[in-house]
Structure 1
Amino acid sequence: MVNIFEQGLERNSANFTPITPLLFLERSAEIYPNRLAVIHGNLRQTWGQTYARCRRLASALSQHGIGIGDTVAVMLPNTPPMVEAHFGIPMVGAVLNALNTRLDPQSIAFMLNHGEAKVVIVDPEFSGTMKEALAIAKKESGRDFLVIDVEENEFDVSGVKLGSLTYEQLLAQGDPQYLWQVPTDEWQAICLNYTSGTTGNPKGVVYHHRGAAINAVSNILDWDINKHPVYLWTLPMFHCNGWCFPWTVAARAGINVCLRRVDAQHIFAAIKEYKVTHYCAAPIVHNLLVNAPEEMKLGVPTGVKGLIAGAAPPASIIEGMEKLGFDLTHVYGLTEVYGPAAVCVKQDEWDDLDIGERARLNARQGVRYHMQQAITVLNPETMQPVPADGETMGEIMFKGNIAMKGYLKNEKATKEAFEGGWFHSGDLAVMSPDGYVKIKDRSKDIIISGGENISSIEVEDVLFRHPAVIAAAVVAMPDPKWGETPCAFLEIKPDAQVTIQEIIAHCKRHLAGFKVPRAVVFGELPKTSTGKIQKFELRKKAGSASAIDV
C-alpha cells in the first residue's frame, strides 16, 4: 500500500536541518548581542563577542588544516577558552576532546594518541603535566602536535610555553565573520570523552551533534530554566562536557560564571557577588558546602538551584542543602549518556512530608529526562523488566537520543554496551511502585553475605547520617563464615571525635543486623581524578582489616 504522505514530500534545505547545539550560540548572539555571556575575574564578554571569538577559532583551525573528523584536545579549567572550545572546534567539523585536568601525563598521552589529536590547547596551570604528556605521546606515536598556549590575564597562574602560538595569536588569524556550516549529518561526532576507569585504559566515548543539542534542551526542560540564568561553573567542563551545560547556557542566553578553583569559599563568594541562579556539582562538592564554616554561608541567598549527580547522594547531603535554602534536584547518568539522562522529578505532595522522608525520595535516580526515550530496570540475562516492587534488583538501562555513538576504536565494548537494544549502565537498581528508579549498587560493588545481597550504597547512606562523618565507603571483606561482610572506611570531620563502637551502634539503629559493618577503618579515602572514591584500593585494604563482633 502506498503511503500518500511520502509521495513528493521529501526532505530539503527548507524543511529539514540537522540538529546541532551550535545554532544556540548563533541565535543568542543575534538576539542578545550585548547581553553578558562570560564572567572571568574582571573580564566581561558579551554573546556577540563570544560568537565572534568562536568563529575566529573555527576559521583559524581551518587555516591550519583542521576539518571534519579531526580531534582537537584541550587541557583547560573552567575558563572562557573552554566555553569557546565547545563551539569553535565543532564549527569547523572537528571533535572536541576535553581532557581531565587531574590526570597523570601517561594517561593523557594515551588519550592524545588514541583520539589522534592534531591540535592541543593548553592552560598554563597544566603546562608541566602537558609537557611530559606530549613528550610521551610523541615518543609512542611519532606524531607531532600543534600546541596552543592559553594566556591567563585575570589570575596569577604561571607555566612554561609549549607551542609556537598563543591562543590569542591563533584567534587573531581567524575571521570573526567565518561562514561555518551546520553539519550535513546530525550523527556527526562533536565530542570525545574518556571514561574514568579504575583498571586498564579508559574508553573513548563519542558524542554526536544531535545528542548534545537534545540533552542541552532536556537540561532546560527538566530544570525549568528561564531566560538569562546566571550559571556558576562548579562542575568541570571536561566531565561529560559539563553535562552539556555550555550549550544549555547558550540556548538560554545566560551568563557563564567561570571558576578556576572549586572550594566552598570561592563558590559561596561567587554566588553572593554575581547573584548565581544555577550550578551543578557532584556529591563531594555539596559535602564541602554543607560542612563549610557558618561565616562563609552568611548572606547566601535562598532559592539557588543546584543539580547533584555522581555517586548516589546520601540523604544527609540533600537534607543539609535544603537547610541552607538551596533548591536541590537529583539527576543521574553516565559519560555514555551525555551526563544526566534521568531526573528525580519532585512531586507536589512531597512538600507535606518531613525533611527526612523528602530527602529519601529525592535521593532516588528517578525517571527519564524529557528527551530520552526510556530508562528502565531489566534483568540483564533475560532482558525482561523487573517487578516494580522496590525490592527486585536488575540493571539500569537507557534507550534514546541521549546515548553515545559508541566507544572509539572498540567495537566489542560498543556491541556489549548496546546488547539487546538498550545501553547497559552496569548499575544495579530497583524499580519503585511509582516508577522511580533507585540505585542499589554497581554490579561489582554488591556485597553477598551468607547468600544475602547487601547494598554498599544503603550502608553508606546510613553512615553519612552520623554527624561526625564527612565521607564514607563500604566494600566487601572476606569472612570465613559468611563469605563476605561489609567493611566501612570513613573520613571524619576535623573537629569531630567518634569511636568505632559509636559508629556500629549508629548502624544498628538503622540497618538490619547482617548489613552492619563488621569492620570500621578511619582515614582519608583514596579518590580518582574526578573525585570518585577508589573502591578497588579499599578492597585491597579490607582484606587485612580487623573484624569485630557486632
Structure 2
Amino acid sequence: MFRPTRFLSVIRQLRQTSSQRTQVIHFSSEKPMEGLFQCPANYVPLSPISFLQRAGIVYRDRVSVIYGSVNYTWKETLERCLRLASALTQLGISRGDVVATLAPNVPAMYELHFGVPMAGAVLCTLNIRYDSEMVSRLLRHSEAKIIFVDYQLLDIAHGAFKLLSMKETKPPELVLITESDNPIHDSTFTSTSLEYESLLKTGNPDFEIIQPKDELDPISLNYTSGTTSSPKGVVYNHRGAYINSLSTVLLHGMGAIPVYLWTVPMFHCNGWCLTWGVAAQGGTNVCLRKVTPKNIYDNIMLHKVNHLGGAPTVLNMIVNATPGDRKTLPWKVEIMTGGAPPPPQILFKMEELGFNVSHLYGLTETYGPGTICTWKPEWEFLPPEERAELKSHQGLQHLGVEVDIKNPITLKSVPPDGKTMGEVMFRGNTVMSGYLKDLKATQEAFDGGWFRSGDLAVKHPDGYIKVKDRSKDIIISGGENISTIEVETVLYSHPAVLEAAVVGQPDHHWGETPFAFVKLKEGCSVEAKEIIKFCRDHLPHYMAPRTVVFDDLPRTSTGKVQKFLLRKKAENMDNLP
C-alpha cells in the first residue's frame, strides 16, 4: 500500500545521503549564485554511447543496419554491441586499452564504434589502404591489444605481425571479420584464432556499460590521412565526439529516421562522427563495402537513401558515371562533401543530377567537419555557375567550434576583404585532445590558444572563408604566391579533364613553377600544350602550369591527393618545353 508520509521520509533520507556525495560548483563570478551544486542528478559525462542506448529503446524495431541481405534493428544492434563489449572485457580489455580495426564499411565496423567504448576502451581505426609496414608501425605506436581485421585484409595484417615479431614486439590478438557467403579457406586462420560472430556469442547481452569517468576521457584514436608521409595519432574524447555528432546531424539537415549511405570511410574521423550521429536520429545505416557509381545509384534507389557523404573524388565519380550506371533520382538527395576543395564545375553538375551538396571543411584534428558552407536563400536567384562558386567556399564555423583566419605571427584576425591570406585556426569543444605520445607537436599545434591548421585562407565580407591552399602546398614563383587550388579549379573546367593536381617544381630562376598532373576522361585525347594554353587563357600567365603530365593521381582512401608523392615525382622530372 502506498503511504505518502513514508514516501516523503524516504525522499528526505535519499536527499541527505546524496548531499554528502555532491560536489559544489565553484563560480568564477564575484557574486556566485547560492544553493547550486553539481551532483549525479544534474551532471553525467557526455558520451555518444548514449545515442545507441536511446535508439535501442525509441527506435527498437526500426532498421538500423543494412548490408546486402543482412538487416538489423536498433534493438538488435544494441544487443550486439553489448555482447561485443562484454566479450572484449572477457579477453582482458580494460579502461583505456586500445582496440584497433582494419576493415571497410561493414556492419562489424559500425558496431565496433559502440562496442569498444562501451568496454571503456579506445577505438583505433586504421586506414585500409595502409601496407603491412605502416600497419605494424601504427600498431606499435598505439600499443593496440586487439585488432579486428576484415577477411579481405588478412594478408596485410599477417605481414604487419611478421614485422612486429622481427622487432620483438608482441602482436595484438587478431579477431577475423568474415561474411556468411565468403567462408575463409586460409591455412593461416588457425583454430586458436578468433572470429567476430563467434566472439559475439560469448558476450553477455546484459553487460553493464563501462561509462567514462570523465567526458574528456579518450574515445578514439585516428591517424592523420596520409597526405603527409608521417601520420600522427589524433586523440578524440567522449565530449567532442558527442558534440560533433549532433552538430553534423543538425547541419546536414538529418531529421528523424534518415537513411544514410556509407560512402565516407568509417575509419576516417570515425565517419565524420556520423557512426554515432545516425544512431542519435534512429536512422538506417546502409553499409557499402566498395564505392562505385553503380553501387551508389543502386543503393539510393533500393533503400530510398536521402543522405550520404564523400570527398570530391566521390562526386566526380557520380558525375562521370556511365549512362548504364546512372539513375534518375525521384527525390532530392543530400550529400556532404569534404576532404578537399570541390571544383565549382563538379558542384554545378551534381545539382543538375538531383543532389543538394553541402560543403564541409575540417581536419582529423577537428573530428572531421569544422565548417560548413551554409545555404543562403538569395543564392537561389543567381546563375548556376555563380551559385556553385559560392558553394565551393568553406563557409562558416560548425556548431561547437570557433573558426578564424589569423596572421600566424601576430594572431590578429585578417580583414574580411577576400584578399588578405592568413592561417585557418580553430578552438572549441571539437578540437582534438592532442597527438598521442607527441607532446611537442601538440604544444606547437595549440600555440597561442588556437589550433593551427596549416591551411591558408581568406575571409570574405559575408564572413565566409575560402581556403586557398595548404601552407606546404602554396607555390612561390618569382615572389608571387600561387594557389594550387585555383589552378586545379581551372584545370577541372577543361572538358577533357577528369582529375587534376598541381604542385611546385623547383626552378633555378623562379624558385618554383606550377607542375600539373592530369588524368583525362575516358575516350578523350589532348596534348599537354593545349592544357597549358587553356590555363593561360583563364589565369595570369605566372599561375599557368609550365609542365603537364598525364598520369593517375595517388590518393588516400578518403579521396585526398597525396601531394608529397607528386612533389617527389616533379622534383625528379626535367622541365619540359
Which band: TM-score by shorter chain? over 0.9
Q: 1:127 aligns with which of 154, 164, 172?
A: 154
Cα offset, 1:300, TM superposition:
3.0
- 1:240-319 correspondence runs (5 A): 240-319=269-348
Q: Does 1:106 align with 2:133?
A: yes
Cα offset, 1:451, TM superposition:
1.0
- 1:505-524 correspondence runs (5 A): 505-524=533-552
Counterpart for residue 60 of structure 1: 87
- 1:176-187 correspondence runs (5 A): 176-187=205-216
Q: What SS does the corresponding residue of 1:329 show, helix, strand or coil?
A: strand
Counterpart for residue 457 of structure 2: 429
Q: Does 1:485 align with 2:520?
A: no
> In 2, distance between residues paired with 1:267 and 1:395?
36
Cα offset, 1:333, TM superposition:
0.4
Q: What SS does the corresponding residue of 2:43 show, helix, strand or coil?
A: coil
Which amino acid in structure 1 is aligned with residue 223 of structure 2? Y
Q: Rg larger in 1 or in 2? A: 2
Q: What SS does the corresponding residue of 2:113 show, helix, strand or coil?
A: helix
Cα offset, 1:197, TM superposition:
3.6
**More divergent stretch after superposition (322-331 vs 491-500):** 491-500
> In 2, distance between residues paired with 1:197 and 1:523?
20
Question: In angstroms, what is the RMSD of aligned CA positions?
Answer: 1.7
**More divergent stretch after superposition (67-76 vs 403-412):** 67-76
Distance 1:77 1:528, change over 3 A: closer
> In 2, distance between residues paired with 1:442 and 1:94?
34
Counterpart for residue 461 of structure 1: 489
The answer (yes or no) to whether the contact 2:223–2:232 under 8 Å persists in 1 is yes
Q: 1:72 aligns with which of 86, 92, 99?
A: 99
Cα offset, 1:477, TM superposition:
2.0
Q: What SS does the corresponding residue of 1:375 show, helix, strand or coil?
A: strand
Q: What SS does the corresponding residue of 2:78 show, helix, strand or coil?
A: helix
**More divergent stretch after superposition (412-421 vs 441-450):** 441-450
Q: 1:194 aligns with which of 223, 226, 242?
A: 223
Cα offset, 1:132, TM superposition:
1.1
Cα offset, 1:148, TM superposition:
1.1
Cα offset, 1:4, TM superposition:
5.6
Deviations 1:109-131 (A, max 9, x none): 11111111111111111111111
Q: 1:146 aligns with which of 154, 173, 193?
A: 173
> In 2, distance between residues paired with 1:393 and 1:72?
41
- 1:352-367 correspondence runs (5 A): 352-367=381-396
Q: Does 1:137 align with 2:164?
A: yes
Deviations 1:311-355 (A, max 9, x none): 111112111111111011000001000011110011110111111
> In 2, distance between residues paired with 1:528 and 1:279?
19
Counterpart for residue 121 of structure 2: 94
Q: What SS does the corresponding residue of 1:398 show, helix, strand or coil?
A: strand
Cα offset, 1:22, TM superposition:
0.5
Q: Does 1:411 align with 2:439?
A: yes
Distance 1:103 1:190, change over 3 A: same
> In 2, distance between residues paired with 1:154 and 1:17?
43
Deviations 1:43-93 (A, max 9, x none): 110000000010011111112221110001111111111111000100111
> In 2, distance between residues paired with 1:267 and 1:157?
28
> In 2, distance between residues paired with 1:504 and 1:435?
34
Q: Which runs of 5+ in 1 are unaligned?
A: none
Q: What SS does the corresponding residue of 2:552 show, helix, strand or coil?
A: coil
Q: Does 1:326 align with 2:355?
A: yes
Q: What SS does the corresponding residue of 2:454 show, helix, strand or coil?
A: strand
> In 2, distance between residues paired with 1:446 and 1:493?
27
Deviations 1:9-50 (A, max 9, x none): 211110111100000001111111100000011111000000
**More divergent stretch after superposition (415-424 vs 192-201):** 192-201
Distance 1:538 1:145, change over 3 A: closer
Counterpart for residue 381 of structure 1: 409
Which amino acid in structure 2 is aligned with residue 39 of structure 1? I
How many corresponding residue pairs? 547
Counterpart for residue 263 of structure 2: 234
Q: Does 1:531 align with 2:540?
A: no
Counterpart for residue 51 of structure 1: 78
Q: 1:340 aligns with which of 333, 347, 369?
A: 369
The answer (yes or no) to whether the contact 2:424–2:454 under 8 Å persists in 1 is yes
Sequence identity of aligned pairs in percent? 49
TM-score (norm 1): 0.96
The answer (yes or no) to whether the contact 2:47–2:242 under 8 Å persists in 1 is yes
Which amino acid in structure 2 is aligned with residue 185 of structure 1? D
> In 2, distance between residues paired with 1:542 and 1:64?
49
The answer (yes or no) to whether the contact 2:225–2:268 under 8 Å persists in 1 is no
> In 2, distance between residues paired with 1:319 and 1:545?
37
Q: What SS does the corresponding residue of 2:71 show, helix, strand or coil?
A: strand
Distance 1:311 1:545, change over 3 A: farther
Cα offset, 1:517, TM superposition:
1.4
> In 2, distance between residues paired with 1:269 and 1:214?
33
Q: Does 1:83 align with 2:83?
A: no
Cα offset, 1:518, TM superposition:
1.4
Deviations 1:96-151 (A, max 9, x none): 01111110001001111111111111111111111111222233253242211122
Cα offset, 1:500, TM superposition:
2.3
Cα offset, 1:423, TM superposition:
0.5
Q: Does 1:205 align with 2:227?
A: no
Q: Does 1:39 align with 2:74?
A: no
Q: 2:194 aligns with which of 157, 165, 170?
A: 165
TM-score (norm 2): 0.92
> In 2, distance between residues paired with 1:442 and 1:517?
18
Q: What SS does the corresponding residue of 2:140 show, helix, strand or coil?
A: helix
Distance 1:4 1:182, change over 3 A: farther
Distance 1:449 1:497, change over 3 A: same
The answer (yes or no) to whether the contact 1:125–1:157 under 8 Å persists in 2 is no
Distance 1:157 1:508, change over 3 A: farther
Q: What SS does the corresponding residue of 2:325 show, helix, strand or coil?
A: helix
Cα offset, 1:198, TM superposition:
4.8
Cα offset, 1:220, TM superposition:
1.5
Q: What SS does the corresponding residue of 1:489 show, helix, strand or coil?
A: strand
> In 1, distance between residues paired with 2:185 and 2:492?
39
Q: What SS does the corresponding residue of 2:308 show, helix, strand or coil?
A: strand
Cα offset, 1:5, TM superposition:
4.2
Which amino acid in structure 1 is aligned with residue 80 of structure 2? R
